[in-house]
Amino acid sequence: MALRPPSFKPFTLALIQLGNVGPSKSENLKHAREMIIKAARGETSKPKPSLIVLPECFNSPYGHVHFPVYAETIGFTPGKLYDTTNSPSESVKMLSAVAKETGTWLIGGSIPERDTTDDKLYNTCTVYSPGGDLIAMHRKVHLFDIDIPGKIKFKESETLTGGTSLNFFDTDFCRIGLGICYDIRFPEMAMIAARKGCHAIIYPSAFNLTTGPLHWELLQRGRAVDNQIFVSMCSPARDLTAGYHAWGHSMVVDPMGLVIAEAAEDEAIIFAEINPEVFESGRAGIPVTTQRRFDVYTEVKEV
Ligand SMILES: NC(=O)CCC(=O)C(=O)O
Distance CA 83, CA 90 (A): 13
Nearest Cα residue to atom 10 of ligand 1: 182
Q: Could you identify the atom of ligand 1 that is nearest to the CA of residue 143?
A: 3
Per DSSP, 23 falls in state S
177 within a domain of the structure (yes/no): yes
User: In this predicted structure, what is the pLDDT of residue 44?
Assistant: 86
* Interval 55-87: pLDDT, tens: 999 999 999 999 999 999 999 998 899 999 999
Q: What angle, rounded to 10 degrees, do the helices at 212-227 and 187-195 form?
A: 30
- Judge whether 302 lies within some domain: no
Please say whether the beta carbons of 152 and 95 come within 8 A: no
**Residue type at position 281:** S
CA atoms within 13 A on the CB side of 38: 15
Active site residue 302: no
Angle subtended by helix axes 90-102 and 25-41, to nearest 10: 20
Pocket probe for ligand 1: among 111, 140, 146, 180, the residue whose CB has the most ligand atoms within 8 Å is 146
Q: Does residue 298 have a pLDDT over 90? A: no
Strand partners, 122: 113
Can 57 be counted among the known catalytic residues? no
- Locate all alpha helices (DSSP H) within the chain, ordered by sequence: 25-41, 67-70, 90-102, 187-195, 212-227, 276-285, 288-291
Specify the residue with its C-alpha closest to ligand 1, atom 6: 207
In a domain, residue 263? The reply is yes
Instruction: Decide if 255 is inside a domain.
Output: yes
Query: Is 272 part of any domain?
Result: yes
Total of domains in the chain: 1
Amino acid identity at 42: G
Q: Compute the 3-state secondary structure of the chain and give helix, strand, coil in percent, each to the nearest 5.
A: 30, 25, 45
d(CA 87, CA 93): 6
> Rounded to an integer, what distance in angstroms lies between the CA atom of residue 19 and that of residue 288?
40
Q: What is the CATH number of the domain that holds 152?
A: 3.60.110.10
Our answer to whether residue 56 is catalytic in this structure is yes
Please give the pLDDT value at position 236: 98
Beta strand segments in 99-254, E: 105-107, 111-115, 120-128, 134-139, 145-148, 152-155, 167-170, 175-178, 200-204, 230-234, 251-253
The arithmetic mean of pLDDT across residues 227-247, rounded, is 98
Average pLDDT over residues 128-137: 97
Query: How many angstroms separate the first and last alpha carbons of the chain?
Result: 7
For 194-229, give one letter per residue: b (16+ CB within 10 A) or e.
bebbbbbbbbbbbbbbebbeeebbebbbbbbbebbb
Q: Which residues pair with 273 in a beta bridge?
A: 12
Residue 233 confidence class, pLDDT cut points 50, 70, 90: very high
Question: Is 16 inside a domain boundary?
Answer: yes
The reply to whether 259 falls in a domain is: yes
| Mean pLDDT score, 183-191 | 97
* Residue 157 lies inside a defined structural domain of this protein: yes
pLDDT tier, 38 (very low <50, low <70, confident <90, very high otherwise): very high
- For residue 19, pLDDT over 70 is answered with yes
pLDDT at 299: 84
Q: Mean pLDDT over residues 30-45, rounded? A: 96
Backbone region of residue 148 per phi and psi (left: phi > 0; alpha: psi in -120 to 50; beta: other values): beta
Domain span at residue 51? 11-291
Indicate if the alpha-carbon torsion angle 289, 290, 294, 297 is positive or negative.
negative
Instruction: Name residues contacting ligand 1 (CB within 6 A).
Output: 56, 144, 181-182, 185, 206-208, 211, 215
Q: Per-residue pLDDT for 227 more than 90?
A: yes
pLDDT digits 0-9 by tens, 154-172: 999 999 999 999 999 999 9
Q: Please tell me the distance between residue 216's alpha carbon and the centre of ligand 1 in angstroms.
A: 9
What's the confidence (pLDDT) of residue 78?
87
Supply the mean pLDDT for the chain: 96
Alpha-carbon span 109 to 126, nearest angstrom: 7
